[in-house]
Amino acid sequence: MSITKEEFVERVISTGVAERMDVSRVIGELGVGEVSLAEVVDQLQSRGLVTTLQTEKIMRGDRVGYFYGDFKILYLIGAGTFARVYRAERNGEVYAVKVLRKRFRDEAHELEQFLREGRMGLKLKHPNIVRILEVVPDRHNPFLVMEFVEGQTLRELVKIRGKLPVELALKLMHEIASGLAFAASLGISHRDLKLSNVLISSNGVAKLVDFGLAALADRSNPEVVADCPNARAIDYAALERGTNVRKDDPRSDVFFAGNMLYHMLAGTPALTETRDRMARLNISRFQDIRSIYDYVPDLPGIVNQLLLAAMEFDPEKRIQTCTALASATKTVIDTLERGPAEARAPDLSGKVNAEDVGDDHVITNEGEGYVVMFVESKTGLQNAVRDRLKARGYRVLIIADPQRALTRFEDAIERPADCVIFGAAELGNDALEAFNAFGENEETKEIPAILLVDPNQKHLIQRAVRGSNRALLPLPLSVKHLRIALIKLLSDTEPRSDALF
């Protein structure tokens, strides 16, 4: 649709976008002579009287949508399935105005969900949550007024920078968890945690936005197992169905916050991203997560420890609340800031006792300064043990051949490892013979060793050489029991000075 410059000017004035006096003054700056529509538009935009969005609407002949209440719409800053968010101003102050899309305004459920978000948001007064300031339930033009955050989304930040530095990722994670913890204290969960729902302000502060799927938690019926109300909640529903917990379980936000931390560190999400509904409902997405060390080989163990605790598939073993997640993240930040010397000593004695290993969610660096060699041919078990021991600070060497492992100790100037773990599940007799030879050899008999053996392998158990620095552990392996065994076996071994590898 083509219009003249005169028609454009009249529409600017009639819609209330700008005052006639201001428009006339600015156009007058163009001087005398013939002036084109393009020149008029450029002049008004350059002087700040109209924006690109307003210009497009005027060109289309739109008569409404320039104001919501007293708020003048300036730019579109975000658009989702249910709503659009605009930068707006009133009395010289800048705000964000969130407007429900037209096609949902006649849908009672969507309208109520939108207004519920606003009503909940009025309660969420926290520095790490974008404030909702007003809720306008106009049936024809319902909108929310929010604080305007100058900055970018966390998704945009990760896209630009790729992998974030560990310190920055942990800082943002702590701020996100703090906001979630405050909301949880009011009975509100987020239900849509992803990088695009976190704004990073110009001064670097993380602020949660879009509690659109949040719900005032109804804990009156713990038997209710998660359902899948709409596509936006499908990931939450898949996790909750797969772990047989009720919808709105507070530990779900913990899991997806962990996924965001993984994404910040690795530059890619832990969960494979897909639009395919059936693929997203497949519970294996939450179980077959690639090791963070494939992306960040030098990640400090306690950071991986935090990730594993937040993204534990079993909800009973997962960090239980967002408050606990914020606390654990702060502990990791403080530990890293203290440096390797103090990080190696989580209590005043400088040692972690086996009796203290009870809670896997407690952040410790018990393995700092120790090297463990794991002799195992099963890739899955290799990865599981490596990741969980590295999470506690151990350096882990993986070798698939028992004889090759023994060879590493022959005529070595410095011992290759402080403890050797032999896995007999598949290596069987080869693992047993290497374990026994390791205990009989003069050069290695003082070095602790562990044999992992299935209780059904009775012929191996009977032939295993025992000793004060030897241990047998049953399969399937309990990492907690392995940690206890390592702490006891290494209690008389001095940690190496080059603790951080």
Half-sphere exposure of 237 (CA within 13 A, CB side): 14
* pLDDT of 252 over the 80 cut: yes
Q: Are residues 170 and 269 in the same domain?
A: yes
Same domain, 234 and 305: yes
How far apart are alpha carbons 451 and 435 in whole angstroms?
A: 7
pLDDT, tens only, 45-61: 999 999 999 999 999 99
pLDDT digits 0-9 by tens, 452-500: 999 999 999 999 999 999 999 999 988 889 999 999 999 999 998 754 4
Paired residues of 81 in beta bridges? none
Last residue of a domain, one of 90, 118, 147: 147
- Alpha-carbon distance 166 to 181, whole Å? 22
Give the pLDDT confidence score for residue 67 in this predicted structure: 95
Indicate if 37 and 157 belong to the same structural domain: no
Angle between helices 250-266 and 234-242 (to 10 degrees): 110
Handedness of CA 336, 338, 339, 342 (dihedral sign): negative
Q: Does 98 show up as a binding residue in the annotation?
A: yes
pLDDT in tens, 423-461: 999 999 999 999 999 999 988 999 999 999 999 999 999
**Residue 201 amino acid letter:** S
Residue 225 in any domain: the answer is: yes
List beta partners, residue 199: 153, 207
State which of 147, 176, 201 marks the end of a domain.
Answer: 147
CATH of the domain at 381: 3.40.50.2300
Task: Say if residue 210 is in the same domain as residue 95.
Answer: no
> Is residue 237 assigned to a domain?
yes
Strand, helix or coil at 317? coil
In a shared domain, residues 294 and 407: no
Please report whether residue 474 resides in a domain.
yes
Radius of gyration of the chain (CA): 30
**Number of domains, the chain:** 4
Task: Kindly state whether residues 163 and 283 are assigned to the same domain.
Answer: yes
Cα 362 to Cα 128, 277, 310, 327, 352: the distances in Å are 25, 36, 12, 10, 11
Which has the closest alpha carbon to 308: 392, 374, 426? Answer: 392
How open is the CA angle 495-344-389, to the nearest 5 degrees? 80
Question: Strands of 83-90's sheet, edge to edge?
Answer: 67-68, 71-79, 83-90, 93-100, 143-147, 132-136
Does the pLDDT at position 231 exceed 50?
no
User: Which range marks the domain in which residue 18 is found?
Assistant: 5-60
Residue 438 contacts residue 388 (beta carbons within 8 Å) = no
pLDDT tens by residue, 258-283: 999 999 999 999 987 777 878 888 88
